[in-house]
Structure 1
Protein backbone atom coordinates (compact mmCIF):
# COMPACT_ATOMS: atom_id res chain seq x y z
CA UNK A 1 0.00 0.00 0.00
CA UNK A 2 2.74 2.47 0.87
CA UNK A 3 4.31 1.97 -2.56
CA UNK A 4 1.06 2.93 -4.23
CA UNK A 5 0.79 6.09 -2.17
CA UNK A 6 4.27 7.16 -3.18
CA UNK A 7 3.62 6.51 -6.87
CA UNK A 8 0.43 8.57 -6.77
CA UNK A 9 2.14 11.52 -5.11
CA UNK A 10 5.03 11.42 -7.57
CA UNK A 11 2.74 11.69 -10.60
CA UNK A 12 3.34 15.02 -12.32
CA UNK A 13 0.68 17.71 -11.96
CA UNK A 14 -1.21 18.15 -15.23
CA UNK A 15 -1.33 21.76 -16.34
CA UNK A 16 -4.42 21.49 -18.54
CA UNK A 17 -8.17 21.89 -18.73
CA UNK A 18 -9.61 19.39 -21.22
CA UNK A 19 -13.05 21.06 -21.19
CA UNK A 20 -11.45 24.37 -22.09
CA UNK A 21 -9.51 22.76 -24.94
CA UNK A 22 -12.73 21.20 -26.27
CA UNK A 23 -14.55 24.55 -26.07
CA UNK A 24 -11.75 26.26 -27.98
CA UNK A 25 -11.80 23.55 -30.63
CA UNK A 26 -15.51 24.13 -31.29
CA UNK A 27 -15.20 27.93 -30.79
CA UNK A 28 -18.29 27.70 -28.56
CA UNK A 29 -18.52 30.65 -26.18
CA UNK A 30 -21.09 28.93 -23.93
CA UNK A 31 -18.79 25.90 -23.58
CA UNK A 32 -15.86 28.24 -22.94
CA UNK A 33 -17.80 29.94 -20.14
CA UNK A 34 -18.71 26.56 -18.62
CA UNK A 35 -15.09 25.35 -18.79
CA UNK A 36 -13.84 28.54 -17.12
CA UNK A 37 -16.43 28.26 -14.33
CA UNK A 38 -15.70 24.61 -13.60
CA UNK A 39 -12.00 24.08 -14.21
CA UNK A 40 -8.57 25.61 -13.91
CA UNK A 41 -6.80 27.84 -16.40
CA UNK A 42 -3.10 27.74 -17.25
CA UNK A 43 -1.59 31.18 -16.62
CA UNK A 44 1.94 32.23 -17.64
CA UNK A 45 3.98 33.70 -14.80
CA UNK A 46 6.73 36.29 -14.84
CA UNK A 47 7.66 35.12 -11.35
CA UNK A 48 6.49 31.85 -9.79
CA UNK A 49 4.90 31.96 -6.34
CA UNK A 50 6.72 30.87 -3.20
CA UNK A 51 5.83 27.26 -2.40
CA UNK A 52 5.88 27.94 1.34
CA UNK A 53 3.40 30.84 1.07
CA UNK A 54 -0.09 29.83 -0.14
CA UNK A 55 -0.99 33.52 -0.51
CA UNK A 56 1.76 34.03 -3.12
CA UNK A 57 0.42 32.86 -6.48
CA UNK A 58 3.27 34.48 -8.40
CA UNK A 59 3.31 37.40 -10.78
CA UNK A 60 1.14 36.98 -13.87
CA UNK A 61 2.80 37.74 -17.19
CA UNK A 62 0.85 40.03 -19.53
CA UNK A 63 1.71 41.39 -22.96
CA UNK A 64 1.81 45.14 -23.58
CA UNK A 65 1.72 46.17 -27.25
CA UNK A 66 4.64 48.60 -27.66
CA UNK A 67 2.77 50.56 -30.36
CA UNK A 68 -0.62 51.00 -28.68
CA UNK A 69 0.07 50.29 -25.02
CA UNK A 70 -2.83 47.80 -24.99
CA UNK A 71 -2.43 45.01 -22.43
CA UNK A 72 -3.41 41.43 -23.22
CA UNK A 73 -3.77 38.54 -20.81
CA UNK A 74 -2.80 35.21 -22.33
CA UNK A 75 -4.45 32.08 -20.95
CA UNK A 76 -4.01 28.48 -22.03
CA UNK A 77 -6.04 25.29 -22.00
CA UNK A 78 -2.82 23.29 -21.70
CA UNK A 79 0.73 24.29 -20.80
CA UNK A 80 1.98 22.64 -24.01
CA UNK A 81 0.18 25.36 -26.01
CA UNK A 82 2.20 28.16 -24.34
CA UNK A 83 4.75 29.55 -26.82
CA UNK A 84 8.37 29.00 -25.82
CA UNK A 85 9.03 32.75 -26.16
CA UNK A 86 6.93 33.40 -23.04
CA UNK A 87 8.44 33.03 -19.57
CA UNK A 88 8.77 29.34 -18.69
CA UNK A 89 6.76 29.33 -15.44
CA UNK A 90 3.02 28.64 -15.39
CA UNK A 91 0.35 28.32 -12.73
CA UNK A 92 -2.87 26.38 -12.73
CA UNK A 93 -5.42 28.88 -11.43
CA UNK A 94 -8.97 28.35 -10.21
CA UNK A 95 -12.13 29.98 -11.56
CA UNK A 96 -12.32 32.14 -8.40
CA UNK A 97 -8.75 33.33 -8.95
CA UNK A 98 -9.48 34.18 -12.61
CA UNK A 99 -12.62 36.12 -11.63
CA UNK A 100 -10.75 38.10 -8.99
CA UNK A 101 -7.78 38.80 -11.28
CA UNK A 102 -9.99 40.00 -14.14
CA UNK A 103 -11.98 42.22 -11.79
CA UNK A 104 -8.84 43.75 -10.31
CA UNK A 105 -7.30 44.46 -13.74
CA UNK A 106 -10.38 44.97 -15.94
CA UNK A 107 -9.55 48.62 -16.62
CA UNK A 108 -6.00 47.79 -17.72
CA UNK A 109 -6.49 44.58 -19.74
CA UNK A 110 -8.00 45.22 -23.15
CA UNK A 111 -8.32 41.62 -24.35
CA UNK A 112 -7.84 38.05 -23.18
CA UNK A 113 -6.42 35.50 -25.60
CA UNK A 114 -6.85 31.75 -25.17
CA UNK A 115 -4.22 29.48 -26.73
CA UNK A 116 -2.96 32.41 -28.82
CA UNK A 117 -0.52 30.24 -30.79
CA UNK A 118 -3.16 27.58 -31.43
CA UNK A 119 -4.33 25.05 -32.09
CA UNK A 120 -7.70 26.85 -31.64
CA UNK A 121 -7.19 30.44 -30.47
CA UNK A 122 -10.03 32.59 -29.19
CA UNK A 123 -10.26 36.00 -27.61
CA UNK A 124 -12.71 37.85 -25.40
CA UNK A 125 -12.92 41.01 -23.38
CA UNK A 126 -12.39 40.91 -19.63
CA UNK A 127 -15.99 42.11 -19.16
CA UNK A 128 -17.34 39.20 -21.24
CA UNK A 129 -15.30 36.72 -19.20
CA UNK A 130 -16.38 38.24 -15.89
CA UNK A 131 -20.01 37.93 -17.03
CA UNK A 132 -19.41 34.31 -18.05
CA UNK A 133 -17.76 33.50 -14.72
CA UNK A 134 -20.67 35.10 -12.85
CA UNK A 135 -23.37 32.98 -14.55
CA UNK A 136 -23.35 30.44 -11.71
CA UNK A 137 -23.29 33.10 -9.02
Structure 2
Protein backbone atom coordinates (compact mmCIF):
# COMPACT_ATOMS: atom_id res chain seq x y z
CA UNK A 1 0.00 0.00 0.00
CA UNK A 2 1.37 3.39 -0.94
CA UNK A 3 1.95 5.83 1.89
CA UNK A 4 0.85 8.78 -0.17
CA UNK A 5 4.25 10.44 0.23
CA UNK A 6 6.14 11.39 -2.85
CA UNK A 7 9.73 10.39 -2.90
CA UNK A 8 11.95 13.41 -2.83
CA UNK A 9 14.28 14.03 -5.68
CA UNK A 10 17.87 13.13 -4.82
CA UNK A 11 19.92 16.24 -4.26
CA UNK A 12 22.26 17.10 -7.11
CA UNK A 13 25.92 16.44 -6.41
CA UNK A 14 27.91 19.65 -6.50
CA UNK A 15 31.06 19.10 -8.49
CA UNK A 16 33.14 21.72 -6.71
CA UNK A 17 35.42 22.42 -3.81
CA UNK A 18 34.85 26.03 -2.75
CA UNK A 19 37.77 25.92 -0.34
CA UNK A 20 40.10 24.89 -3.19
CA UNK A 21 38.75 27.67 -5.41
CA UNK A 22 39.45 30.21 -2.66
CA UNK A 23 42.97 28.86 -2.15
CA UNK A 24 43.72 29.04 -5.86
CA UNK A 25 42.51 32.64 -5.92
CA UNK A 26 45.14 33.59 -3.36
CA UNK A 27 47.79 31.30 -4.97
CA UNK A 28 48.61 30.07 -1.45
CA UNK A 29 50.09 26.55 -1.66
CA UNK A 30 49.50 25.92 2.06
CA UNK A 31 45.80 26.74 1.60
CA UNK A 32 45.66 24.57 -1.54
CA UNK A 33 47.20 21.70 0.42
CA UNK A 34 44.66 22.15 3.23
CA UNK A 35 41.78 22.22 0.73
CA UNK A 36 43.06 19.06 -0.98
CA UNK A 37 43.38 17.25 2.37
CA UNK A 38 39.87 18.18 3.49
CA UNK A 39 37.71 18.20 0.39
CA UNK A 40 37.06 16.60 -2.96
CA UNK A 41 38.74 17.34 -6.26
CA UNK A 42 36.98 17.49 -9.62
CA UNK A 43 38.72 15.11 -12.04
CA UNK A 44 37.99 14.85 -15.79
CA UNK A 45 37.09 11.32 -16.89
CA UNK A 46 37.41 9.51 -20.21
CA UNK A 47 34.85 7.03 -18.95
CA UNK A 48 32.56 7.59 -15.97
CA UNK A 49 32.41 4.94 -13.27
CA UNK A 50 29.67 2.33 -13.21
CA UNK A 51 26.76 3.57 -11.08
CA UNK A 52 26.19 0.13 -9.61
CA UNK A 53 29.82 -0.36 -8.57
CA UNK A 54 31.15 2.13 -6.02
CA UNK A 55 34.66 0.73 -6.55
CA UNK A 56 34.61 1.86 -10.20
CA UNK A 57 35.74 5.49 -10.14
CA UNK A 58 35.98 5.78 -13.91
CA UNK A 59 38.97 6.28 -16.19
CA UNK A 60 40.89 9.49 -15.52
CA UNK A 61 41.66 11.73 -18.48
CA UNK A 62 45.21 13.04 -18.72
CA UNK A 63 46.87 15.25 -21.32
CA UNK A 64 49.94 14.03 -23.20
CA UNK A 65 51.86 16.78 -24.99
CA UNK A 66 52.31 15.51 -28.56
CA UNK A 67 55.63 17.38 -28.90
CA UNK A 68 57.32 16.29 -25.67
CA UNK A 69 55.35 13.24 -24.59
CA UNK A 70 54.99 14.72 -21.09
CA UNK A 71 51.80 13.85 -19.22
CA UNK A 72 49.77 16.35 -17.22
CA UNK A 73 46.96 15.67 -14.79
CA UNK A 74 44.31 18.39 -14.85
CA UNK A 75 42.28 18.94 -11.70
CA UNK A 76 39.53 21.46 -11.04
CA UNK A 77 38.05 23.29 -8.09
CA UNK A 78 34.71 23.39 -9.93
CA UNK A 79 33.39 21.45 -12.92
CA UNK A 80 32.38 24.81 -14.42
CA UNK A 81 36.09 25.65 -14.85
CA UNK A 82 36.71 22.62 -17.10
CA UNK A 83 37.26 23.65 -20.72
CA UNK A 84 34.57 22.51 -23.18
CA UNK A 85 37.19 20.76 -25.35
CA UNK A 86 37.79 18.19 -22.61
CA UNK A 87 35.66 15.09 -22.08
CA UNK A 88 32.26 15.89 -20.58
CA UNK A 89 32.39 13.42 -17.69
CA UNK A 90 33.88 14.40 -14.35
CA UNK A 91 34.39 12.62 -11.08
CA UNK A 92 34.41 14.04 -7.58
CA UNK A 93 37.25 12.29 -5.81
CA UNK A 94 38.41 12.21 -2.22
CA UNK A 95 41.82 13.22 -0.87
CA UNK A 96 42.59 9.53 -0.33
CA UNK A 97 41.82 8.76 -3.96
CA UNK A 98 44.03 11.63 -5.17
CA UNK A 99 46.90 10.49 -2.94
CA UNK A 100 46.64 6.90 -4.20
CA UNK A 101 46.36 7.99 -7.85
CA UNK A 102 49.46 10.18 -7.58
CA UNK A 103 51.36 7.40 -5.84
CA UNK A 104 50.59 4.95 -8.65
CA UNK A 105 50.98 7.34 -11.60
CA UNK A 106 53.36 9.99 -10.21
CA UNK A 107 56.34 8.73 -12.20
CA UNK A 108 54.47 9.17 -15.48
CA UNK A 109 52.80 12.50 -14.64
CA UNK A 110 55.20 15.44 -14.98
CA UNK A 111 52.90 18.17 -13.68
CA UNK A 112 49.47 18.72 -12.17
CA UNK A 113 47.44 21.74 -13.24
CA UNK A 114 44.58 23.20 -11.23
CA UNK A 115 41.89 25.14 -13.11
CA UNK A 116 44.15 25.36 -16.16
CA UNK A 117 41.73 27.61 -18.05
CA UNK A 118 41.25 29.89 -15.06
CA UNK A 119 40.08 31.79 -13.29
CA UNK A 120 43.17 31.19 -11.08
CA UNK A 121 45.37 28.47 -12.57
CA UNK A 122 48.17 26.90 -10.58
CA UNK A 123 50.50 23.97 -11.09
CA UNK A 124 52.54 21.64 -8.91
CA UNK A 125 54.56 18.48 -9.24
CA UNK A 126 53.04 15.15 -8.20
CA UNK A 127 55.72 14.86 -5.49
CA UNK A 128 54.75 18.27 -4.05
CA UNK A 129 51.08 17.25 -3.98
CA UNK A 130 51.85 13.95 -2.29
CA UNK A 131 53.85 15.83 0.35
CA UNK A 132 50.97 18.30 0.77
CA UNK A 133 48.44 15.49 1.16
CA UNK A 134 50.68 13.74 3.70
CA UNK A 135 51.27 16.86 5.81
Q: Which residue of 2 aligns with 1:33?
A: 33
TM (normalized to structure 2)?
Answer: 0.94
Question: Structure 1, residues 95-132: CA drift from partner, whole Å, max 9, x if none?
Answer: 00000000000100000000000000000000000000
Give me the CA root mean square deviation. 1.0
Q: Of residues 3, 6, 9 in structure 1, which corresponds to 2:8?
A: 6
Question: Structure 1, residues 42-87: CA drift from partner, whole Å, max 9, x if none?
Answer: 0000000001111110000000000000000000000000000000
For residues 40 and 12 of structure 2, what CA distance do their matches in structure 1 show?
Answer: 16
Q: Which has the larger radius of gyration?
A: 2
Report how far residue 6 of structure 1 moved: 1.1
Q: Which residue of 2 aligns with 1:75?
A: 75
TM (normalized to structure 1)?
Answer: 0.93
Aligned pair count reads 131
Q: Which residue of 1 aligns with 2:51?
A: 51
Q: Which residue of 2 aligns with 1:101?
A: 101
Runs of 5+ in structure 2 lacking a partner? Answer: none
Query: If each structure's helix is expressed as a fraction of its own residues, which one has the higher value?
Result: 1
For residues 56 and 87 of structure 1, what CA distance do their matches in structure 2 show?
Answer: 18
Runs of 5+ in structure 1 lacking a partner? Answer: none
For residues 113 and 86 of structure 1, what CA distance do their matches in structure 2 show?
Answer: 14
For residues 113 and 76 of structure 2, what CA distance do their matches in structure 1 show?
Answer: 8
